[in-house]
A and B are shown apart, each in its own frame.
Chain A
């Protein structure tokens, strides 16, 4: 009862005009930053952190500045889907999985459905995770801490397995794609031994590694555009778009068909979000994989499934709230953005950790209240802006294509601020175009380059801990079942292949 009272009180504080105004501004800024390729919530939060000192001086507390930054974080999670769906370029790493089905939906004239699904799934994901946060913060924080290196590696293995074990794509090409993504993720300095690895042709640009966005924007910005130009041969417009409000309303009613993806994304995203060193990007990619594998129509994924949009979008919002949990209750940031938020909390004079809920209830409950409010604000603004997002798709393709190229090039530079990455991104894009012609799936490589830097150190630390004994992944109570499920999913296509061969030979003999 105390929790309910504290939460209601917190919501009332979050609804005060100054806090509500900051939440609205924060959501709009976040939407814009999230939609811009190359920029994500971390850029918005980091750039506007100094501005929060002005807010703090004005309001006299840490609550309003935190509400503002949290709203930017939320807004960016909603915004990432916009460019993924309308332009086919992931606005941020958290929205890569949204591109897989959001883009095909847009190309088939259902951009309104994809955008509405993304907005509503984000709302559900954000709200469900806030409910988890409200009710179980201390318990969940301790569960997250029980995940050691073997458990997190097993979870990463499960994520890869969801992409292999589906049997939809060409299996050797899918495995090749995952492996090359994992290998490319090792380029640069080895964080364990400090040795430089895979510095191709001794080019110094490789010493800082091959960054995720270089691969993602190369594949989806450049490669996808060249592919579309080659197949569409410059059709007059990208796709047919209906801007009527009735279409948006129809899409809102259609959202019920995306319940499965939304439920998976909301729960799995939150859980992955609270794990140290995980965050919203692995959460959204894993949710996509699990939604696909549990779907009645897995063949629709990658071709325009609403569940394929709902799962990653619910997950990235859910994970963004989840990532705040270890930050606030343990002082451990779960993502780069929460690291900046943590820095802000310390600067504002707060002490994140187990005693925060006890010592600073005046800060904690209005912040949690603002999560609920920001979600309502974000979904309302997002749906209201959908006609503007759709308008972009009405541009002639010969205007839209060069604009996407420019956005990809500028966005890559803005993310890392060196030209080497921009050159590399274009080369990756052209290579992705060639591979796509030959049916090499590129999505698993993108997944791998995100999860690789998490998985490899966890594997090595686990084996160091077990003195090289791989049974550590099977004998621990949490890691064991996850590893077994992952291996079953990985070998499932092989079992199917052998079964089909046996049946064919029996039929031949008969």
Chain B
């Protein structure tokens, strides 16, 4: 945990510097404006567009340094913790659950939300949760069906359907 604390502080410090740099960028339509011209008060216009994000990012950088000092002086709980940042279970869980979520999102582009919900629930309930096939299929079928009637039919919020789009046309004809 101690190493993770300082590594995170350094990453956040670099992020703060990047945000400061990015905040001072000149407008795309006028690259001749010098960088950081927008971070102060502009005559007749008040604070420039980079004023607010630049100085906030500077405070973030200051906080990152403060966190680093606390780490060096061992005054924050994570800086003295001997626990691992993520144990074996945590790493495996993150891979399975996080991987499942990113897989869900990738599937949305192929089979749409309803197909992805079905596949994700099968994966999670059957393979991670070890539920029976009957229970898994009941939930995996009911959730997309209820979602379709709530979002597409009742709320008129059309969710992406990917390559399964033709299957939904008869349902639209029937219910809309």
Contacts and interface: CB of A to CB of B under 8 A. Distances in A.
A417 B156 CA distance: 12
Given A43-B155, A172-B70, A193-B48, A182 B56 contact: yes
A388 interface: no
B60 A226 contact: no
B53 A439 contact: no
A430 interface: yes
A460 B51 contact: yes
Contacts of B113: 409-410, 413
15 contacts: A36-B150, A47-B156, A172-B67, A176-B60, A192-B49, A197-B49, A230-B90, A398-B125, A399-B125, A409-B101, A410-B117, A419-B108, A430-B98, A460-B47, A468-B47
Nearest to A170: B76
A423 B45 CA distance: 37
A47 B100 CA distance: 33
Chain A interface mostly: helix
B85 to A, nearest CB: 6
A15 interface: no
Interface string B126-167: 001111000000010001000100110001110110000000
A464 B45 contact: yes
B36 interface: no
A459 B85 contact: no
Interface string A284-295: 000000000000
A242 to B, nearest CB: 25
Contacts of A192: 46, 49
Given A180-B60, A402-B121, A459-B52, A173 B67 contact: yes
A399 B94 contact: no
B157 A405 contact: no
Given A176-B67, A459-B47, A438 B8 contact: yes
Q: Nearest 5 A-B pairs (CB), nearest first? A: A464-B46, A398-B129, A402-B124, A172-B66, A176-B63
Interface residues of A, number: 61
B70 to A, nearest CB: 7
A167 B121 CA distance: 42
Contacts of B64: 172, 176
B136 to A, nearest CB: 10
A179 B77 contact: no
Contacts, number: 167
A198 B53 contact: yes
Contacts of B51: 460
A423 B105 contact: yes
Nearest to A177: B63
A406 B155 CA distance: 17
Nearest to B4: A438
A439 B159 contact: no
Interface string A38-62: 0100010001000000000000000
A396 interface: yes
Contacts of B125: 398-399, 402
A173 B69 CA distance: 12
A456 B52 contact: yes
A468 B38 CA distance: 14
Interface in A388-412: 396, 398-399, 401-403, 405-406, 409-410
Contact of B147 (A172, A190, A410, A426): A410
B124 A179 contact: no
A432 interface: no
A175 interface: yes
B154 to A, nearest CB: 9
Interface in A447-479: 456, 459-461, 463-465, 468
A439 B77 contact: yes
A405 B120 contact: yes
B143 A406 contact: yes
B59 A460 contact: no
B53 A186 contact: yes
A173 B62 CA distance: 11
